[in-house]
Chains A and B, each alone.
Chain A
């Protein structure tokens, strides 16, 4: 079972307490964006085999959204962090790079 630490209440939360919210750090398309930008914002996903940055909600706990970095091939969790950022924290990215030398980076 997947266990993620909620960065707000500090609880190690079971999968059953959490709701997955899909790929994180999408660039929102808005007024004036091209059709291409809208299409990729709404539908196209990286869906990587490996490191994935994603959104989760502590739905049966504090109710807040947060971020997690996780491997989709081993289910290893690299870390969780707050929702109020538009990219993953540098230390986390560095930590993942060290663990997965072949990784092409979060973008």
Chain B
């Protein structure tokens, strides 16, 4: 792999950009791999990357039914934060956030991580208490967050209206080192690094069946033939129930649509990420100038990657209330992704009833921020056949044992 650098840009500039290589190879699948990852989203690619980097397992294939990063990884609103309430969540999300800080250097590709800061607005007294509690919990967990009052919110976000018609802004939970990154670049950077380690990324290849023998995985059947493996990581987000079904077990997951939209580009107006969970909307401004907007999920099971129009209306209403200047903006694009929801709104990184099969799913509406931490923890689980400290609390056994990691109250809305 030829490294990207300022010199490379200068060199290519002088020879009409004829020397750039393909970022990753597109090989045909081999007969057998030491490990197969299903799903080339951020989580699958990061799992493969850390399998190679941290555990020396490089005879790995990542199998993707569409194009890499074309699932939720390429459809999300890229908010990165780690201000969760429960200790296991804070640990894995903060690991991820800290890996984002050095990701561009580590992977030699600019993922445009922008730690511009994230505010979660408190607009009811219940939320005030909730976020103050989270700020205290974060202090104990070593995650830098701070409770701020309305005047500080206004300083950080001059376009905000503090005394909205329904819910005045009473303060907020501020994480200065949260922010955004470029989602496609995260997928591409991991893919390029995996390919450079000799791993095979096989796109346009759907897994259609899973073969087991004596309670352990033997092979996967794909649209490009049968491929043997002793370790199989299922990292397919909204499609997890389908893959689990192929291996003969069920998951505590339901798939629903979550959607987002962007406005026409405007001049810089807001340089932090704002989430307003009570009125149900959140917004950041992309480097291109578009306002990137998201809201809630649809409540019913859905695999169509579309969203309901009334949710767009609800989200835009909430944001116009909070940022009156938005009322004149045109919305340019809207899209949806299928997210994998668990009952406690926490992910699953776990062994499964089938030997050699591991599942990484349930990130739901908020798993872009966790990609590097999740890949790190998942690689350890797959390599050692046992979870390390980051993954231990996220096993499937927590449902049976009632050990929930309840973030549904803490997160309120998507991500």
Contacts and interface: CB of A to CB of B under 8 A. Distances in A.
B250 to A, nearest CB: 4
B42 to A, nearest CB: 22
Interface string B270-307: 00000000000000000000000000000111111000
Given A1-B309, A16-B310, A45 B300 contact: no
Interface stretch (B52-60, B70-78, B200-208, B251-259): B251-259
Interface stretch (A5-13, A47-55, A84-92, A95-103): A47-55
Query: Chain B binding site: helix, strand, loop or mixed by DSSP?
Result: mixed
Given A15-B310, A46-B241, A73 B254 contact: no
Interface in A26-81: 35, 39-40, 42-49, 52, 54, 70, 72-75
B223 interface: no
B308 interface: yes
Contact of B250 (A2, A20, A40): A40
A23 B239 CA distance: 17
Given A73-B303, A73-B304, A74-B304, A22 B242 contact: no
A42 B300 CA distance: 17
Contacts of B242: 49
A85 B224 CA distance: 44
Contact of A47 (B301, B308, B309, B400): B301
Interface in B294-330: 299-304, 308-310
B335 interface: no
A45 B250 CA distance: 7
A34 to B, nearest CB: 11
B145 to A, nearest CB: 31
Contact of B399 (A19, A39, A54): A39
B252 A20 contact: no
B300 A46 contact: no
Contacts of A20: 299-300
Contacts of A47: 241, 251, 253-255, 301
A54 B302 contact: no
Contact of A45 (B239, B254, B310): B254
Nearest to B340: A47
Contacts of A39: 399-400
B153 to A, nearest CB: 31
B259 to A, nearest CB: 13
Contact of A2 (B254, B308, B343): B308
Contacts of B299: 19-20
Contacts of A75: 302, 304
B300 A35 contact: no
Q: Which residue of B241, B254, B300 has the most chain A CB atoms within 10 A of its CB atom?
A: B300
Contacts of A48: 241, 301
Nearest to A19: B299
A2 B300 contact: yes
B308 A15 contact: yes
Nearest to A16: B310
A44 B250 contact: yes
Contacts of B343: 43
Interface of B: 239, 241-242, 250-255, 299-304, 308-310, 343, 399-400
24 contacts: A1-B309, A1-B310, A2-B300, A15-B308, A16-B310, A22-B301, A35-B400, A39-B400, A40-B250, A42-B399, A43-B252, A45-B252, A46-B250, A47-B241, A47-B253, A47-B255, A47-B301, A48-B241, A49-B239, A49-B242, A52-B301, A72-B301, A74-B304, A75-B304
Interface of A: 1-2, 15-16, 19-20, 22-23, 35, 39-40, 42-49, 52, 54, 70, 72-75
Given A1-B309, A46-B250, 7 more contacts: A22-B254, A39-B400, A47-B241, A47-B253, A54-B300, A72-B255, A74-B304
Counting from the closest, the 5 A-B pairs by CB-CB distance are: A43-B252, A47-B241, A20-B299, A44-B250, A20-B300
